[in-house]
Chain A
Amino acid sequence: QKEVEQDPGPLSVPEGAIVSLNCTYSNSAFQYFMWYRQYSRKGPELLMYTYSSGNKEDGRFTAQVDKSSKYISLFIRDSQPSDSATYLCAMKNTDKLIFGTGTRLQVFP
């Protein structure tokens, strides 16, 4: 079993939709949770960073962590075609950072 599981998609939604991206993990030692966005042929860029359980909002993006269920989510409100990218969850404890395989999102006009 992989330490971090993420549905690869692709996920195709119309512009304006609410998008939900999710990851599950098995290592209860993970304390820090991140979402990276990666456009085609580019490097991943950090989108959201959260510590422990709870919600964090930044503009149209909300990151949610449920440590009891070992489940994290990224919500994108009012999705735009420019949000089309691969979204990677990542999580770490004191000595390593593990990435999910990424979910490819396409937002069509």
Chain B
Amino acid sequence: DSGVTQTPKHLITATGQRVTLRCSPRSGDLSVYWYQQSLDQGLQFLIQYYNGEERAKGNILERFSAQQFPDLHSELNLSSLELGDSALYFCASSASDVGTIGNIQYFGAGTRLSVL
């Protein structure tokens, strides 16, 4: 168990809908990262938050947004869902910022999103 908790485990929804994925980082970790994993694309970095502030953006669509709350948990919001958004969404956390020497990301078990 990595200590990173993601809910829900599975989500089935229809095109055009909006969903929220939740992540609780390991105790004491300040950074939260969101990744999307699909069969043909591998693990794609979406966005990082560090202590409540957006730190880095990757290949995140404008329909997607995230935030990190004062208690350090994070939510990823996906709206106007399309069939191609079906994927595994992972949250990872680390104690420090990504560039820090020794920074290690620990992953949650993921949320499997199916858009029908």
Contact = CB atoms under 8 A, between A and B. Distances in A.
A101 B2 CA distance: 21
Nearest to A6: B42
Interface stretch (B12-20, B60-68, B69-77, B105-113): B105-113
Given A42-B109, A44-B90, A95-B99, A49 B104 contact: yes
Contact of A43 (B2, B41, B101, B103): B2
A97 B105 contact: yes
A46 B106 contact: yes
Nearest to A49: B104
Contacts of B109: 42-43
Contacts, number: 55
Contacts of B103: 92
A88 B105 CA distance: 13
If over half of B's interface residues share one DSSP class (helix, strand or loop), that class is named, otherwise mixed; here it is loop
Interface size range of chain A in the complex:
20 to 34
A45 B43 contact: no
Contacts of B4: 43
Contact of B98 (A41, A46, A96): A96
Contacts of A99: 42-43, 45
Contacts of A97: 33, 45, 98, 105
13 contacts: A34-B104, A42-B109, A43-B4, A43-B90, A43-B107, A43-B108, A44-B107, A46-B106, A92-B103, A96-B45, A100-B42, A101-B42, A102-B42
Interface of A: 32, 34, 36, 41-46, 49, 51, 88, 92-102
Interface of B: 2, 4, 33, 41-43, 45, 56, 58, 90, 92, 98-99, 101, 103-110, 112
